[in-house]
Structure 1
């Protein structure tokens, strides 16, 4: 075979592999958006189709999918479960209410939007977005009624804090999946994620709200009120213990896993290899160990500290796990899809194309996540799919650049929530907005988060 024939054969093979990837992604999108098939089943079928169209034997396709599924479940499954247990205990013990009441109670009327953004970020750190949203809505309504401020002026900053934590800062499942798929350093990603998250929350929350509150002005509904004057507490009194853990103890417990993981990152940078302190901090800062320690500590500081008995704590843990079953399956299936892409050679093809195109890897990662987010409506699906497509590029990147790649994907996965996103409808119904009003507030807020996140990632890339 001469050089022209070889080049033609390689081009044909490349075209076939690209077609396989596009067909598989298209199937996932159509199944999720049109036929309303669960993302777990959609990702599984999409992975099998990619393998078949990419001329990978069926047995090898199944093996690749199984390997990716198992590796991802082993890598992040325990972390997601521990995070859910921690978040549920935080809510059931009254610790979340304590954080909210203390921060909001100390903020003046002018600074309430900033206080709500801080509340959203702190509550969002250990909790899934949907759980945090349900927990915060009564608080948002109560503060809006008592302060006389617009529901949008207070709600959007809180949602911005929740959403940014969900997309950019581990130990949320999205960033954890991307970290595992791209083999990024968790400590570096956490540190850079916080650096990106702080200005992003400020811009997409209190600052953006100044305009959003002018476009849409709605009063707080009477939901969660127990008396005509709306002075009763927003949460279900029967669900919280007789006393709450103190604010300082609650904050310390919430930040404990973050501190342990940051300690590991700092030890890896400054402590000598093999030194005792580095070994200790490396072990304590391993994500599974850090979250496990946080859960065990929370049993005493939050659970027993609020007067919960052993049965109540056990019930809280039991109730925390069923809601995340679907998330675990979606995340693991996304890992299977990623491995199938790699096994067919599509991932290497994309890596070679990016290397020769001169296009910024970070911008490409963001764009891929944005397209999948717009098509499927799922930030998690966008994260796991984009991570699989971009995984082969990691070999050419430094640890810092790999962490920025995780953040670029996370930022892209939050772009413009619309009618195919369950979160869109949750916010619309809770706030009592029309579809148009929800797009002007929630959807645009998500877009501001996504674009600002990308901009700050690109700025950090200039110095890393």
Structure 2
């Protein structure tokens, strides 16, 4: 579920690092993925090392010079850590402040008091959907994971029963609803109407999130019955605390970055002149880095100071928050490196060229192209933009509603079967303490359900609109 900036997408469009034909590239992709899965599952090699080796195998089989394959991997790792990594770190700090101050306890205790066991999965998908509306998927994960893990531990719930609905709510928003970067880019490429796409996106998102979230979580909980990893579960605040932050101020602190990013999205929609001072100010205020950094600083006062923390205690909390996520950062970064090696080898372009002569429905064609690019590159944003660009000429005679549905078809395809070349796969695996097989049976299958249910809803709407 990796997000790419405009500059990164432009870099992806450079000349491939190999001149291999389609057959050789296809074999290289299969070889690279097979090596990664084999090293992790059979030889129990750490995922960070497996991803490095798999990337080199991919480059070698594709006939790329070793130095260029290494440069592609390093570039992808660096850009992923620079983007996603810093958000994970800031989210971890906010999560630790939330936990140590007793703020997370306050949220969990309130939720458990208000929602029964049967209602909880539905409550989680709703909360995740609202929180995930304006923010990056990765930001949503780091904001919600502490709450998910604490609800699971305190309420004695199945991790999958609570975690899958939360992930489904976030993922559906990411793939189908503007102002996320993928849907916005597709709207621009296809000249779709933003308001119509947003309205139809909500219509598609609701049943999709229900099926892939609360309903699928029943089966996922049977297939993978595990406890949250102890190192990831925020501990209950120390009994030495005389007080803890109130529910209102705690929720406000957690939602602060959401509000800041939503404000930017609203300004993007309302302000026509993109070069105004207001636009530039909100571009800064609503950037994920600034939004999370602000929340961390505010949290030091609203959470830490409210709990009676001294400056030294706050500094210690921040320091302790970073150690547990070191492995997560390396694995997520290596997943980004593998993705970049795929892109630089020309795999995405290969898929585009092979799909040009497919003779099927435009909506289904757009979905299939996005699926193929997603499987090959691991990037939902690259899949969305590439597929939208390919089918853009076909929108000339389309109605406003069908053009919007085309955007949603592309978005649904871009979420299909997240696996080892997606940084989001490794984030979920590490946060939930699963092995590769368990992650495939839960997270990857959930993403596939979102994609399939999404395109079915789009095709049904196309029959009545």
Looking at structure 1, the residues matched to 348 and 219 of structure 2 have their Cα atoms a distance apart, in angstroms, of 42
Matched, 1:41 2:46: no
Structure 1 unaligned runs (5+)? 1-10, 142-150, 225-233, 373-381, 416-420, 429-434
Aligned in 2, Cα 1:450/1:89: closer, same or farther, shift over 3 Å? farther
Say if 2:417 and 2:447, in contact at 8 Å, map to a contact too.
no
Aligned in 2, Cα 1:258/1:453: closer, same or farther, shift over 3 Å? farther
1:54-453 aligned within 5 A:
54-107=62-115, 111=119, 114-115=122-123, 125=140, 127=142, 131-132=146-147, 134-141=149-156, 157-164=161-168, 167=171, 199-200=207-208, 202-204=210-212, 206=214, 236=236, 238=238, 241-273=241-273, 274-357=275-358, 360-363=365-368, 365-366=370-371, 383=378, 393=387, 395-396=389-390, 408-410=413-415, 412-413=417-418, 447=445, 450-452=448-450
The answer to which structure, 1 or 2, has the higher relative contact order (CA under 8 A, 6+ apart) is 2
Say if 1:21 and 1:50, in contact at 8 Å, map to a contact too.
yes
Say if 2:417 and 2:444, in contact at 8 Å, map to a contact too.
no
Q: Please, which of 52, 74, 77 is the counterpart of residue 60 of structure 2?
A: 52
Looking at structure 1, the residues matched to 458 and 261 of structure 2 have their Cα atoms a distance apart, in angstroms, of 21
Looking at structure 2, the residues matched to 344 and 209 of structure 1 have their Cα atoms a distance apart, in angstroms, of 37
Say if 1:94 and 1:240, in contact at 8 Å, map to a contact too.
no
Shift in Å, 1:256: 1.3
Aligned in 2, Cα 1:33/1:179: closer, same or farther, shift over 3 Å? farther
TM-score by length of 2: 0.66
Looking at structure 2, the residues matched to 263 and 129 of structure 1 have their Cα atoms a distance apart, in angstroms, of 20
Shift in Å, 1:79: 1.4
Say if 1:156 and 1:205, in contact at 8 Å, map to a contact too.
no
Deviations 1:303-348 (A, max 9, x none): 1122222222222221221222222222222222223223332321
Looking at structure 2, the residues matched to 85 and 295 of structure 1 have their Cα atoms a distance apart, in angstroms, of 7
Shift in Å, 1:367: 7.0
Say if 1:160 and 1:445, in contact at 8 Å, map to a contact too.
yes
Looking at structure 1, the residues matched to 59 and 203 of structure 2 have their Cα atoms a distance apart, in angstroms, of 39
Structure 2 unaligned runs (5+)? 1-18, 133-138, 188-193, 393-402, 421-427
Aligned in 2, Cα 1:323/1:66: closer, same or farther, shift over 3 Å? same
Rg larger for: 1
Alpha-carbon RMSD across the aligned residues, in angstroms, is 4.8
Aligned residues: 391
Aligned in 2, Cα 1:114/1:12: closer, same or farther, shift over 3 Å? closer
Shift in Å, 1:258: 1.4
Aligned in 2, Cα 1:255/1:392: closer, same or farther, shift over 3 Å? same
Aligned in 2, Cα 1:275/1:41: closer, same or farther, shift over 3 Å? same
What's the counterpart of residue 5 of structure 2? none
Shift in Å, 1:203: 4.1
Shift in Å, 1:82: 0.9
Residue 238 of structure 2 aligns to a residue in which SS? helix
